[in-house]
């Protein structure tokens, strides 16, 4: 049975890759696993049938042969553990790749999400302008550390892995801010990830759903 994932019926970014089903699509494309997509409206996401799949009323979810899971990190890890191509066979290298999954989602992504909150969600609060430099500094701290670790390498730890997939996915959210360009090796790393044929297929598939009808 093909896995079924959920995605926005109408993505706020017009399907430009920012919604998190892109990460799941990318993982499925990397391992060559065909999949189905069930589109859900914002209203349907908060109704019982979807809440049974995702207690927080969000996308993406993943269903396959009696398995129903949510959280992008868990979904990508599940795909990587059940198909070849996204985790190395060697135990040490595999553990390090999984470490990068957690680093992307637990250490790098939170300050990046804070930027969206600071600029958009709380952008009209009286303290928003004073807070912004603090948020930017926290992002720069992490980017500088990551930049040092990556150095001139192609990927974070040897071959491309699920850790790179999630790190690139997290970092590309920064493109519009210009912050990524302050760290040329990180900008090149993200561009290299986005150039992968599997990423392109995932991106195009999401965009196609949101493209206006001809």
Cβ-based nearer residue to ligand GTB, 58 or 161: 58
- Interface residue with ligand GTB among 3, 5, 20, 25 (CB under 6 A) is 20
Q: How far apart are CA 172 and CA 176, in angstroms?
A: 9
CA angle centred on 93, ends 145 and 174, rounded to 5°: 35
Per the listing, tokens 């990190």 go with: 73
Q: Is 206 in the site for ligand GTB (CB under 6 A)?
A: no
The HSE-up count of residue 62 (CA atoms within 13 Å, CB side) is 24
Q: Is the separation of the CB atoms in 25 and 202 below 8 Å?
A: yes
Write out the binding residues for ligand GTB, residues 136-165 only, by CB under 6 A.
none
- Interface residue with ligand GTB among 28, 59, 103, 202 (CB under 6 A) is 59
Cβ-based nearer residue to ligand GTB, 72 or 161: 72
Q: What is the DSSP string of 72-126?
A: HHHHHHHHHHHSTTSS-SSHHHHHHHHHHHHIIIIIIHHHHHHHHIIIIISTTST
Q: Is 168 in the site for ligand GTB (CB under 6 A)?
A: no
Q: Is 169 in the site for ligand GTB (CB under 6 A)?
A: no
Q: Is 58 in the site for ligand GTB (CB under 6 A)?
A: yes
CB of residue 121 to ligand GTB, shortest distance in Å:
12
Q: Is 9 in the site for ligand GTB (CB under 6 A)?
A: no
Q: Is 11 in the site for ligand GTB (CB under 6 A)?
A: yes
DSSP conformational letter for 160: -
Give Rg (Cα) of the chain: 18
Binding to ligand GTB by CB under 6 A, coded x per residue (else -) over 71-110, reads xx--------------------------------------
Which residues lie near ligand GTB (CB under 6 A)?
A: 11-13, 18-20, 45, 57-59, 71-72
């Amino acid at each position: 049975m093909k896995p079924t994932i959920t995605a926005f019926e109408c993505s706020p970014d017009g399907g430009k890759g920012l919604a998190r089903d892109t990460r799941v699509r990318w993982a499925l494309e990397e391992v060559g696993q065909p999949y189905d997509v069930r589109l859900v409206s914002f209203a349907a996401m908060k109704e019982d049938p979807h809440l049974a799949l995702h207690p927080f009323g969000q996308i993406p979810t993943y269903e396959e042969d009696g398995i129903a899971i949510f959280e992008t990190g868990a979904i990508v890890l599940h795909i990587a553990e059940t198909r070849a191509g996204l985790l190395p066979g060697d135990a040490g290298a595999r553990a390090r790749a999984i470490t990068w999954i957690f680093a992307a989602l637990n250490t790098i992504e939170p300050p990046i999400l804070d930027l969206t909150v600071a600029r958009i969600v709380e952008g009209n609060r009286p303290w928003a302008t004073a807070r912004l430099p603090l948020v930017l500094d926290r992002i720069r701290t992490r980017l500088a550390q990551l930049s040092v670790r990556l150095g001139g390498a192609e990927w974070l730890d040897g071959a491309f892995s699920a850790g790179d997939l999630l790190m690139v996915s997290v970092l590309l959210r920064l493109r519009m801010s210009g912050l990524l360009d302050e760290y040329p090796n990180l900008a090149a790393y993200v561009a290299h990830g986005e150039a992968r044929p599997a990423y392109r297929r995932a991106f195009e598939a999401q965009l196609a759903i949101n493209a206006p009808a001809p």
